[in-house]
Amino acid sequence: MTNTVACNKSMIDEYTVEHVGVLAQLELTAAQKRQAREDMAGMVAYVEKLRELNTEGIEPLAHLFPVGNVFREDEVMVFDGRKEMLEGAPQCRDNLYVVPRTIDEA
Amino acid sequence: MSKEYQTDIGLEVHVELATKTKIFCGCSTAFGGEVNAHTCPVCMGMPGALPVLNRQVVEHAMAVGLAVNCKIMPYSAFDRKNYFYPDNPQNYQISQLYHPICRDGYLELDACDDGTEETAEEKVPKRVRIHEIHMEEDAGKMHHDSSGNSLVDYNRAGVPLIEIVTKPDMKDAGEVIAFLEKLRLRIQYLGASDCKLQEGSMRVDVNLSVREMGAAELGTRTEMKNLNSFRSIRNAIASERERQIALLEQGKEVLQETRRWDEDLEMSFVMRSKEDARDYRYYPDSDLKPLLIDEAWIARVHEAQPEFREEKQKRYRQQYDIPQYDAELLTESKAMADFFEETVSLGAPAKKVSNWLMTEMFRMLKERELDPEDIRISPKHLADLIDLTTRQVINSTVAKEVFAVMFDSDADPVTYVEEKGLSMENDEGALRQTIEKVLAENPKSVQDYYNGKGRVVGYLVGQTMKATHSKANPTSIKKMLMEMLNLPSDNR
Amino acid sequence: MQIWDCTAVELSEQIKQGKLKVAEVLEAVYRRIEQTKDLNCFITLDKEGAFQRAAKVQEQIDKGELTGPLAGVPFAAKDNICTKGMRTTCASRILEHFVPAYDAEVIRRLEEAGGVLIGKTNMDEFAMGSTSETSYFGAVKNPIRPEYVPGGSSGGSAAAVAAGACMYTLGSDTGGSIRQPASHCGVVGLKPTYGRVSRYGLVAHACALDQIGPITRNVTDCAAVLSAICGYDEKDSTSMARPEEDFMGALIRDVKGMRIGIPSNYLDGIINGEVKAAVWFVARQLELAGAVVEQFDLKYTEYAVPAYYTIASAEASSNLERYDGIKYGWRCEDYKDLQSLYRRTRSEGFGAEVKRRIMLGTFVLSAGYYEDYYLQALKVRALIKQAFDEAFEKYDLILAPVSPKTAPKLGESLGHPLKLYPDDVYTVSANLAGIPAISIPCGEDSKGLPIGVQLMADCFQEKKLLQAAYTYEQERMGYE
């Protein structure tokens, strides 16, 4: 398993840090990127231990209890705090939330 | 073109489900209304808010799945699709990737009018396979102002959608349209959605690739978005096929990319290519419990499936003796079929109802550019109108006028005929007087009649009709007129 | 005895008997808060609102409409629990001015029980940390020895109760965030079974692991608060419908015949000698009270922390995507387009530890790594759950340390996350397996810092847990 850790260090390269930063919408300075790379390499090396275990045939446990089918009925419930929600927005106009212009991809 | 090419088309069809509330909260899905009126902490992705699944969404998804011959999966669950965009309040969309609710279905296209020479009986129906159907939430709507800002309305955020994904089994626009027509009609018949392309309650993305005729491997596909009508779909398919063939002919490669169709320019533009394809980081959403669907539940939904178009047509032919062509038209929309059946159930003769719908109703709808869903006349009133004509209270000319009024206002024909004094003159005395007046005013025609020119009778009937403002029954007029002409003149 | 020395249930009794007014209790609490201001337990206090509410509660008590064990008693909630009209910051700059338009279900239930909300407690930013030092509003200090941390992430909630600045508080526990600070501050903290308490209104850290629970002076208060906040909530799909349970009825001094297992591997390795001795001492006392205590081998314990950090970080990376400066919360000053608005807002709005976990979480979910890391962690979680299922076939309860050491000094561990992660080894398993676990004070080390001991039970066996905890508490009082 010493191999895994070794390959792991190279796995967290600059590109990975850059890519993960883009996905997570975080802007990092050069120094922060270096730090992030170090932190991530350390954290990944730490969780790498999981891969030691043979989990063949084990179902991933995403939902704790074997309970399903939790529903609400299709009935309208009006929320009365809509005004407060709008007032809490960093920028809104005519009851719309304002953002810098997007190229509409819809 | 030096080589022959074939086209392979698959579809991703998003359908907005006709529920009263959103998929994960109690906000209304009503269209229109004030911006951001239908929002709450859940569909706004506020911190601490949690989604709870709307049962009706599952019922609709199962119903559509069964209607397109899918397997309903005993276990399905929701996943998060992570991407940042302002129309998506949580910056993740709750969808189903790993365990969709339905898999492995198909629809058979009607084997007709593709221009080839075989008759319908000789053809094997074309089968379009459905890969899966999954449930997900819709995004909000973006508006753009002139000052460099975009404005977000979250009323649509969280409206339930199903996405129907087909295999690349269609070979041309004709098959695509035929598939979509059939799919749309089935969903409309289920009442699961109104499926309006223009209004966005049905959205179609076309995945298209070309390959040399007979080649074993599919070509590289592109995905086309923003197709808001069947016309756009047809044009986009033709354009994209040509574009891809042109690339191949030039020895270039087709790139896997998402393109956006511009209907005005009749061409498409790259939205994003595979290189910057997003990494959505799908993973199970632990805020929502999985769905465990047993056989009993599937059976219940199965039992509630309506009679679809093909079955209806057959029944109309057999039960009501209605010609195939008429049956096809009457079942073209669920709204029209429902209207027909309801009117018949009120006692109106099926053939007469069918005639009214086939002629006046379709003519008026076309004239006003309306859909059968927009019909305002109630079945009861059409049945009453038919009754008035059957009992000869009004003649067909008047009936058509009354129908036109009813079409716009759903006026009660009985009241209307009475108020406007439109019922036929059944008062013999009054009619006799009118005819006498007509005969007196037309001595030449009377003379012609006696000279053996029988065809003047028609003219005299017409004159009498005119004098009664079309209220009299022409048969009664003719009968009385003949009687009076054949009496000795002093007895007239 | 000072008002602020009383337990919640004692105070409520005196109020209901008319010996004390709700407003008097509030006065005393706010005085005590003022005296202990330097501990930085609170982020927000609403004195005016609390007194208004106190008047109303007093009226209801006088009319005999409020009779429960918490009627009239002030409480505070961790600042990641939404309170309508009162800002809820998660100790983050990004939510510095966020005022929810809704109450968390637990707040609604406690108010229904006659609780008076006095404010919001400090914590690690977005509940990520175990020292309460990552707060945007400054570190919390340990009331026992202020140069030490109170533990975390619910450090403000635990410190406030220990300092007498509040009778009881609510915390949240994703990997030990209630139990560990309770242990470091010498108070009682319970993480209920996953699904026992509604998460509606709890700002999510890791949806699959988060639970809200009480931090109290003693086990009786703990049972009273749990009784008030538990139960099915239709707004939380993961909350479970259970027959009504009376946790006050579980306060019986009796562990005769109870089978208690101690995972032997918990007592090797990184555990501090004084803590280990304290755990053994508890075991001995329970044995003397009639329990059958033995060691056993709990499988997969060394994988619990890596699995925990993988799952918790992954879920956190997704849960924290919504903080983007558009719908609520803080927005950065200058941005030129949407992308820079997103990036600056998030980079400037989140602290270092939060960003570290978002990066790790994003990575383990990203294409190419999902199966090896995230999915593998879920599989390991299944194995850990299995190991606990097997253990509970043999034992009613598991006895364990809470943390391998007592509270570290302030500033000692900041910026070195990996140094701290292994210390979560005894607490994270309960979250991964969804089981209830309680931390109760059991002594102090040579520095005078509190040591806590942990009891765990099978899912929905809180009664058993409370009964044993209550028995131990009584035995210990008798002993002292």
Query: What is the pLDDT, as a whole number, of residue A5?
Result: 41
Span C309-319, pLDDT tens digits: 999 999 999 99
Closest chain C residue to B84, measured at CA: C321
Structure tokens belonging to residue B103:
């898999």
- Of residues B433, B430, B409, B408, the one with CA closest to residue B421: B430
The angle subtended at Cα A66 by Cα A61 and Cα A71, nearest 5°, is 115
> Residue B311 belongs to what H/E stretch?
helix B309-320
Would you mind telling me the total number of residues written for chain A in this entry? 106
- pLDDT reading at C2 higher than 70: yes
Query: What is the pLDDT, as a whole number, of residue B59?
Result: 98
- Both ends of chain A: CA-CA distance in Å? 47
User: Which of C306, C362, C434 faces A64 most closely, judged by CB atoms?
Assistant: C434
A10 contacts: CB under 8 Å, gap ≥ 6: none
Question: Which carries the bigger pLDDT value, residue B293 or residue B471?
Answer: B293
In whole angstroms, what is the distance from residue B160 CA to residue C436 CA?
36
State the amino acid at position B62 in one-letter form.
M
Catalytic residue (one of C92, C130, C132, C153) = C153
B14 contacts: CB under 8 Å, gap ≥ 6: B161, B162, B163, B202, B203, B204, B205
The angle subtended at Cα C385 by Cα C382 and Cα C387, nearest 5°, is 110
Query: What is the pLDDT, as a whole number, of residue B271?
Result: 84
Active site residue C78: yes
- pLDDT reading at B450 higher than 90: no
Residues forming beta bridges with residue B209, ordered by sequence position: B8
Structure tokens belonging to residue C391:
């253990």
Span C18-68, pLDDT tens digits: 999 999 999 999 999 999 999 999 999 999 999 999 999 999 999 999 999
Span B151-204, pLDDT tens digits: 999 999 999 999 999 999 999 999 999 999 999 999 999 999 999 998 899 999
Residues forming beta bridges with residue C211, ordered by sequence position: C173
Chain A interface, best mutation among B14, B25, B152, B154, by max A CB count within 10 A: B152
Average pLDDT over residues C347-373: 94
> Residue B105 belongs to what H/E stretch?
strand B102-109
Span A81-92, pLDDT tens digits: 999 999 999 999
Span B313-357, pLDDT tens digits: 999 999 999 999 999 999 988 889 999 999 999 999 999 999 999
Provide the 3-class DSSP secondary structure of residue B274: helix
Instruction: Report whether the peptide linkage leading into residue C92 is cis, meaning its omega lies within 30 degrees of zero.
Output: no
User: Which of A28, A44, A59 faces C382 most closely, judged by CB atoms?
Assistant: A59
A50 to C343: CB separation less than 8 angstroms, yes or no: no
- pLDDT reading at B490 higher than 60: no
B52 to C314: CB separation less than 8 angstroms, yes or no: no
Q: Does C363 lie at the interface with B, CB-CB under 8 angstroms?
A: no
Task: Please report the number of interchain residue pairs, chain A to chain C, with beta-carbon separation below 8 angstroms.
Answer: 162
Contact between residue B395 and residue B424 where contact means Cβ atoms under 8 Å apart: yes
Measured in angstroms, the CA of A89 and the nearest CA of chain B are apart by 11
Provide the 3-class DSSP secondary structure of residue C430: helix
- Of residues C403, C427, C418, the one with CA closest to residue C360: C418
Structure tokens belonging to residue B35:
């911006």
Chain B partners within 8 Å of A105 (Cβ): 85, 260, 271-272
Active site residue C439: no
- pLDDT reading at A3 higher than 50: no
Task: pLDDT band for B427, please (50, 70, 90 cuts).
Answer: low
Contact between residue B107 and residue B187 where contact means Cβ atoms under 8 Å apart: no
B58-61 — which CB contacts under 8 Å span 24+ positions? B58/A71, B58/B101, B58/B135, B58/B291, B58/B293, B59/B301, B60/B17, B60/B18, B60/B19, B60/B160, B60/B162, B60/B190, B60/B192, B60/B193, B61/B17, B61/B101, B61/B102, B61/B133, B61/B135, B61/B162
- pLDDT reading at A6 higher than 60: no
Residues forming beta bridges with residue C260, ordered by sequence position: C293, C397
Task: Please report the number of interchain residue pairs, chain A to chain B, with beta-carbon separation below 8 angstroms.
Answer: 128
How large is the C-alpha radius of gyration of chain B?
A: 31
C412 contacts: CB under 8 Å, gap ≥ 6: none
Structure tokens belonging to residue C339:
């992308």
Whole-angstrom CA distances from C372 to A52, B451, C310, C375 are: 11, 108, 11, 6
Average pLDDT over residues C203-211: 98
In whole angstroms, what is the distance from residue C386 CA to residue C458 CA?
12
| Chains adjacent to A (≥3 CB pairs closer than 8 angstroms) | B, C
Percent of chain B with pLDDT over 70: 94
- Of residues C274, C297, C302, the one with CA closest to residue C425: C302
In whole angstroms, what is the distance from residue B158 CA to residue B95 CA?
11
Alpha helices of B379-427 — where are they, by DSSP H? Answer: 379-390, 396-409, 413-419
CA diameter of chain A: 60
Measured in angstroms, the CA of A30 and the nearest CA of chain B are apart by 23
Sign of CA dihedral C162, C164, C167, C172: negative
Query: What is the pLDDT, as a whole number, of residue B464?
Result: 87
Q: Does A80 lie at the interface with B, CB-CB under 8 angstroms?
A: no
Task: pLDDT band for B425, please (50, 70, 90 cuts).
Answer: low
Task: pLDDT band for A32, please (50, 70, 90 cuts).
Answer: confident
Query: What is the pLDDT, as a whole number, of residue B277?
Result: 56
In whole angstroms, what is the distance from residue B260 CA to residue B227 CA?
8
Q: What is the dihedral of CA C233, C234, C240, C243, to 10 degrees?
A: 70
- Of residues B481, B474, B473, B478, the one with CA closest to residue B391: B473
| Chains adjacent to B (≥3 CB pairs closer than 8 angstroms) | A, C
Task: Choose the weakest-confidence range: A12-26, A38-52, B16-30, C299-313.
Answer: A38-52
**DSSP line for A24-74:** HT----HHHHHHHHHHHHHHHHHHGGGGGS--TTPPP--SSSS----EE-S
Query: What is the pLDDT, as a whole number, of residue C192?
Result: 98
Please identify which residue in the block is written with the tokens 């910051």: C89
Span B73-115, pLDDT tens digits: 999 999 999 999 999 999 999 999 999 999 999 999 976 544 4
> Residue B178 belongs to what H/E stretch?
helix B173-190
Alpha helices of C140-250 — where are they, by DSSP H? Answer: 155-163, 179-185, 219-229
B86 to C326: CB separation less than 8 angstroms, yes or no: yes
Active site residue C153: yes
- pLDDT reading at B392 higher than 90: no
Please identify which residue in the block is written with the tokens 């979910």: C365
Chain A interface, best mutation among C323, C330, C359, by max A CB count within 10 A: C359
Structure tokens belonging to residue C73:
């008693």
How many Cβ atoms are within 10 Å of B365's Cβ, its own excluded? 17
Whole-angstrom CA distances from C126 to B433, B475, C158, C241, C313 are: 97, 89, 16, 28, 12
What are the φ/ψ torsions at residue B162 (nearest 5 degrees)? -120, 150
| Chains adjacent to C (≥3 CB pairs closer than 8 angstroms) | A, B
Query: What is the pLDDT, as a whole number, of residue B32?
Result: 78
Query: What is the pLDDT, as a whole number, of residue B486?
Result: 80
Decide the pairing of beta strands A92-93 and A96-100.
Answer: antiparallel
User: Which of A77, A85, A106 faces B39 most closely, judged by CB atoms?
Assistant: A85
In whole angstroms, what is the distance from residue A86 CA to residue C203 CA?
19
Query: How many angstroms from the chain centroid is the CA of residue C333?
Result: 35
User: Which of B26, B142, B281 faces A23 most closely, judged by CB atoms?
Assistant: B281
Chain C partners within 8 Å of A85 (Cβ): 101, 327-328
In whole angstroms, what is the distance from residue B466 CA to residue B322 CA?
36
Structure tokens belonging to residue C335:
């941005």
Task: Choose the weakest-confidence range: B416-425, C153-162, C341-350.
Answer: B416-425
User: Which of C303, C328, C339 faces A89 most closely, judged by CB atoms?
Assistant: C328
- Of residues B383, B326, B311, the one with CA closest to residue B349: B383
Classify residue C428 by burial, with Cβ atoms within 10 Å: 0-12, 13-18, 19+.
buried
